Chain A
Amino acid sequence: MNTLLKNAIWILVAILGAAAVGGIAINRGESINSLWFVVAALCVYSLAYRFYAAWIAATVLTVDATRATPAERLENGHDFAPTNRWIVFGHHFAAIAGPGPLVGPTLAAQFGYLPGTLWILIGSVLGGCVQDMSILFFSTRRNGRSIGQMARDELGPLGGTAALIGTFAIMIILIAVLSLIVVNAMKHSPWATFTVSATIPIAMFIGIYMRYLRPGQVMEASAIGVALLLLFVVAGGWVDHNEMLRGWFDHDGLTLAWGIMLYGLAAAILPVWLLLAPRDYLSTYMKLGTITLLAVAIVILQPSVKMPAVTQFIDGTGPIFGGKLFPFVFITIACGAISGFHALIASGTTPKLLANERDIRMIGYGGMALESMVAIMAMVAATVLDPGVFFAINSPAGIVGKEAVDAVAKISGWGFPVTVEQMRLLAEQMGETTLFARTGGAPSLAVGMASIFGSAFGNSLLALWYHFAIMFEAIFILTTLDAGTRVGRFMLQDMLGNIWPKMAETSWLPSMLLSSCLVVAGWGYFLYIGVIDPNGGVNILWPLFGMANQMLAAIALCVGTGILVKSDKIRYVGVTALPLLWLIIVTTTAAWQKLTSSDLRIGFMAAAEDLQAKLASGALPAEKAAVAPQLIFNLHLDALLTLFFIGILWLIVFDMLRVCVRYLNGQPVLPLTETPHSPSRFVEDWVRD
C-alpha cells in the first residue's frame, strides 16, 4: 500500500511536470504566469533526482555507503573532516553559485523565454548535475584530488596540462566579462558607484574586526557587515541627491574600469583576512538571502512573464549578442545548465568533507539542481519586464543608437513597443538618470527584481530595491573577481616556477607583484576593450566565456568517461559521453561560426576585415577611427583564443578516446587510481533502510 501511494505521488508529479512544461512550451498568449516555470522546474528536478540520479548513484557509480570516505580516513581537523551532509550541501552550494546563472539566462532571454528555460532544465538534469555528481564521486574515491590531477592520473600528462591551462584561461575571461557587467551597471550612476565602493571599506572593517577586535566571532561580524551594507544602500540615495557628493561618484566607463583593475590588484596582494575573506562572508549571506527572497516573492506574487515564448531573434539578429539559437543559446547559458567550473569545486574542497558516499547524490546532483533553479528565477526576473523595456536596457548603443529617440524607435520597430517617456519614468523610479544601454544583465535583472519586490512592499521603495539588487550582484561579482585574481596569481606563480623555481615561492614579493600584475593585465585588457567597444563588449566576451566554460566541462566529462570505460562500465558510458558529445557539437559549431561567419556580429575575422576596410576608406567617424586599430587587434586575438579553446577541447577528447581504445584492445593504460576499499567506522551506528 505504501509503495502504491509512493508510486501514485510520483505519477502525479510526472503529470504535473509534463503539464507545466507543456504549458510554457505551447503558450502563445500575451503573458504567462511565472508559477508555471517554478512548478515545471521543481517537477523536473525532483523526478530527475528521484530516478535518474538514484540510478546513476546505485548502478553507474555504485556508491558504497559502507566505504570510509577520505574525510573519515584522513581526518585532520582542518580540511579533511566528516561533516553533516546539510552543512556540506551549504558549503558546496555557496561555492558553486556565483553570478553566472543570473547573467546567462538574462542575456539569452533575447531569444524569448522558452529556449533558455528548456536548455536550463534539460541541460542541468542530463548534463550539469551528472557532471558535478560524477566528478564529486571520482574525486572522493581518490582522496579528494583535483580535476587536473585526476586528468593527469587517469588520462595522461596532456589531460592534466589542458585542465590547468583551461582553468587559467577561463578565469581571465570570466573576470573580464563580470567586471564589464559591473562597470555597465555603475557608469554615470553615483548611487550604484557609491554603494559598490562602500563595500570595500566595510569588508576591510569586518576583516579587522574578525581578526583582531573579536577574533573568530564570524557570525557577529557578518551581521554587523550586512547591516552596514544595507545602511550604505540607503546612504547611496542621499549621495545621489547631494549635488557636490554625486559629482565624486559620477564616472564614465573607462574611469570605473581602471578603478576595478586597481582594486583587483590590491585584492591579489593584500592579505586575505583584510579584504577577501570578509567580503566573501558578506557576499555569501547577501547571495543566499536575496535568492531566497526572490524565490519567496516569485511564489507568492506570481508575476506575469511578458516576453514572448520565442522572438524573431532566433535567426541570429539579436541586439544583445549576434548568433542563431543553435548553437548560441547553449553557449550563452553555461552556468545554470552545465558549468565546467563546478568540476573544480566538486574535486577540491567538497570531497574532503563528505562523511558518507551516500551523500554524493544530494550534494553533487542536488546542489547543481538548486543552482539551476536560480537560473530559472533569473529567467523569470528578466522576462517579467515589458520586452521593449528589456531590450532598451540591454541593447548596446552601437546597435540601437545613442539617442533615446532612436533607440525606442528601433526597438518598437522590432515589435516590442517602448516609449522615451516610459523609460524616463522607469529610470526616475529606479533613482537613475538613464537605463538605456546598460548591457550585461545586471541592471535589467535589478529592474526585474525591484519590480517584483516593489509589488510586494510598495512602489515607493523601487529605487532602494533597484540599488539593493545592483549591490547584491556587484558584491559577489567582485568576490569572484578578487578570489579569481588571487587564484590566478597562484596558478601563474606555479607555472612560472617551472621556468625559474624562485618564482614559485608564493610569498616572495617580486614574484607576487609580477604575477599579480600579469593576471590583472590579462583580464584588464579585455575589460578595457569591452568598455571602448561601441557594441558593448559583452557580445564578444560572453560567448568566449561560455565556450571556455563548456571546454572545462568537456575536460571534466572526458575524465569521467575515461574512468567509466577503465572501470569496465562501458554499458553506462552514455551517462557522461552523451552530454560530452552535445558539448563538443555546440562548442565546435559556435567556435566555427565565431571564426568563419561572414556576419559581422558573429565572425571575428569578418568584423576585423570590415573595420579594417572602413578605417582605410575613412568611412569611420573620428571617435570610432581612434579606437579601431585596438578593436581590430582584439578581434584577431579573440579569434586566436577561440582556436585555442577548441584546440584544447579536441586534444583532450582524442586523448580520452586513445586511452579508451587502448583499454578496450587490452593494451596497457594508466591504471585506475581509486583508493582501496576500507570499511567505514560510522556504518555500525546506523541501519540501512
Chain B
Amino acid sequence: MLAKLTTLWQGLRQLSGDDAYERYLHHYAQHHADSGEAPLTKAAFFKQWQDKKWQGINRCC
C-alpha cells in the first residue's frame, strides 16, 4: 500500500515537473559528467526548463 502511494506520488511529481531537476542531474551524470562543465544550478535549470516547455502548442480546446 505504502509502495503504491509512493509510486503515485512519484508519478505526480514527474507529471508536474517537480522532479525535473533531479532527472536532469541524473541525465547529466550519465551523459555529460566528463564534459568538464558543472551542471546548472536548480534555479538556472528551472528557468531553462520552463521557457522550453512553453514553446509551441501544448494546450488544446
Interface residues of B in 1-57 (CB under 8 A from A): 11-18, 20-21, 23-24, 27-28, 31, 42-43, 45-47, 49-57
Binding site for A on B (CB under 8 A): 11-18, 20-21, 23-24, 27-28, 31, 42-43, 45-47, 49-61
CA distance A215 to B24 in the complex (A): 15
> Which residues of B lie under 8 Å from residue A91 when comparing CB positions?
15
Quote the shortest CB–CB distance from B60 to chain A (angstroms). Answer: 5
CA distance A82 to B56 in the complex (A): 20
Q: A77-B27, A77-B31, A272-B54 are in contact. Are A95 and B59 (CB under 8 A)?
A: yes
**In the complex, are the beta carbons of B43 and A78 less than 8 A apart?**
no
Q: A86-B11, A87-B11 are in contact. Are A211 and B60 (CB under 8 A)?
A: no
Q: A272-B51, A480-B61 are in contact. Are A216 and B56 (CB under 8 A)?
A: no
Q: A87-B14, A215-B46, A345-B58 are in contact. List 13 more A-B contacts (CB 8 A).
A: A78-B49, A87-B11, A98-B60, A167-B57, A216-B21, A217-B18, A219-B16, A219-B18, A335-B60, A341-B61, A348-B57, A483-B58, A484-B59
Quote the shortest CB–CB distance from A539 to chain B (angstroms). Answer: 18
**In the complex, are the beta carbons of A90 and B42 less than 8 A apart?**
no
> Which residues of A lie under 8 Å from residue B18 when comparing CB positions?
216-219
Q: Interface of chain A, helix or strand or loop or mixed?
A: helix
**In the complex, are the beta carbons of A99 and B28 less than 8 A apart?**
no
Quote the shortest CB–CB distance from B56 to chain A (angstroms). Answer: 6
CA distance A218 to B17 in the complex (A): 7
**In the complex, are the beta carbons of A487 and B61 less than 8 A apart?**
no
**In the complex, are the beta carbons of B61 and A344 less than 8 A apart?**
no
**In the complex, are the beta carbons of B14 and A273 less than 8 A apart?**
no
Q: A96-B60, A345-B60 are in contact. Are A211 and B46 (CB under 8 A)?
A: yes
Say if the beta carbon of A79 comes within 8 Å of chain B. yes
Chain A residue at smallest Cβ distance from B30: A77
26 of the cross-chain contacts (CB-CB < 8 Å) are A75-B27, A77-B31, A78-B52, A79-B52, A81-B27, A83-B14, A87-B11, A95-B58, A211-B50, A215-B47, A216-B42, A217-B18, A219-B12, A272-B50, A273-B50, A276-B54, A277-B53, A277-B54, A281-B16, A335-B60, A342-B60, A348-B57, A480-B59, A483-B58, A487-B56, A487-B57
Say if the beta carbon of A444 comes within 8 Å of chain B. no
Quote the shortest CB–CB distance from B49 to chain A (angstroms). Answer: 7
**In the complex, are the beta carbons of B56 and A349 less than 8 A apart?**
yes
Chain A positions 465 through 507: 1 when the CB is less than 8 Å from some CB of chain B, otherwise 0: 0000000000000011001101100100000000000000000
Quote the shortest CB–CB distance from B54 to chain A (angstroms). Answer: 4
Quote the shortest CB–CB distance from B17 to chain A (angstroms). Answer: 5
The contact of B16 among A96, A222, A345, A483, by CB within 8 Å, is A222
CA distance A478 to B37 in the complex (A): 41
**In the complex, are the beta carbons of A277 and B27 less than 8 A apart?**
no
Interface residues of A in 331-355 (CB under 8 A from B): 335, 339, 341-342, 344-345, 348-349
Quote the shortest CB–CB distance from A512 to chain B (angstroms). Answer: 15
Q: A78-B49, A211-B46, A273-B51 are in contact. Are A345 and B11 (CB under 8 A)?
A: no
CA distance A286 to B58 in the complex (A): 17
**In the complex, are the beta carbons of A549 and B61 less than 8 A apart?**
yes
Interface residues of A in 83-115 (CB under 8 A from B): 83-84, 86-87, 90-91, 94-100
Quote the shortest CB–CB distance from B47 to chain A (angstroms). Answer: 7
Say if the beta carbon of A357 comes within 8 Å of chain B. no
Chain B residue at smallest Cβ distance from A87: B14
Chain A residue at smallest Cβ distance from B49: A78
**In the complex, are the beta carbons of B61 and A339 less than 8 A apart?**
yes
Quote the shortest CB–CB distance from B19 to chain A (angstroms). Answer: 9
**In the complex, are the beta carbons of A216 and B57 less than 8 A apart?**
no
Chain A residue at smallest Cβ distance from B31: A77
Q: A78-B52, A281-B16 are in contact. Are A216 and B61 (CB under 8 A)?
A: no
> Which residues of B lie under 8 Å from residue A210 when comparing CB positions?
46, 50
CA distance A499 to B59 in the complex (A): 28
CA distance A94 to B11 in the complex (A): 14
Cβ-closest 4 pairs across A and B: A216-B46, A215-B43, A100-B61, A77-B27
CA distance A77 to B29 in the complex (A): 11
**In the complex, are the beta carbons of A84 and B21 less than 8 A apart?**
no
The contact of A483 among B27, B31, B59, by CB within 8 Å, is B59
CA distance A217 to B27 in the complex (A): 19
> Which residues of B lie under 8 Å from residue A176 when comparing CB positions?
none
> Which residues of B lie under 8 Å from residue A84 when comparing CB positions?
11, 14
> Which residues of B lie under 8 Å from residue A341 when comparing CB positions?
60-61
Say if the beta carbon of A174 comes within 8 Å of chain B. yes
> Which residues of B lie under 8 Å from residue A549 when comparing CB positions?
61
Say if the beta carbon of A432 comes within 8 Å of chain B. no
Interface residues of A in 28-82 (CB under 8 A from B): 75, 77-79, 81
Say if the beta carbon of A240 comes within 8 Å of chain B. no
Chain A positions 252 through 280: 1 when the CB is less than 8 Å from some CB of chain B, otherwise 0: 00000000000000000000110011001
**In the complex, are the beta carbons of B59 and A335 less than 8 A apart?**
no
**In the complex, are the beta carbons of B61 and A211 less than 8 A apart?**
no
Chain A residue at smallest Cβ distance from B44: A215
> Which residues of B lie under 8 Å from residue A281 when comparing CB positions?
16
CA distance A90 to B20 in the complex (A): 16
> Which residues of B lie under 8 Å from residue A174 when comparing CB positions?
61
Quote the shortest CB–CB distance from B34 to chain A (angstroms). Answer: 16
Chain A residue at smallest Cβ distance from B8: A86
> Which residues of B lie under 8 Å from residue A167 when comparing CB positions?
57
**In the complex, are the beta carbons of A348 and B16 less than 8 A apart?**
no
CA distance A484 to B59 in the complex (A): 8
The contact of A280 among B24, B57, B59, by CB within 8 Å, is B59
- Interface core residue of B23, B52, B54, B60 (most chain A CB under 10 Å): B60
Chain A residue at smallest Cβ distance from B48: A78
> Which residues of B lie under 8 Å from residue A97 when comparing CB positions?
60
CA distance A83 to B28 in the complex (A): 17
CA distance A319 to B59 in the complex (A): 31
CA distance A631 to B37 in the complex (A): 63
The contact of A90 among B15, B58, B61, by CB within 8 Å, is B15
CA distance A91 to B20 in the complex (A): 14
**In the complex, are the beta carbons of A277 and B61 less than 8 A apart?**
no
> Which residues of B lie under 8 Å from residue A90 when comparing CB positions?
11, 15
Chain B residue at smallest Cβ distance from A549: B61
**In the complex, are the beta carbons of B14 and A216 less than 8 A apart?**
no
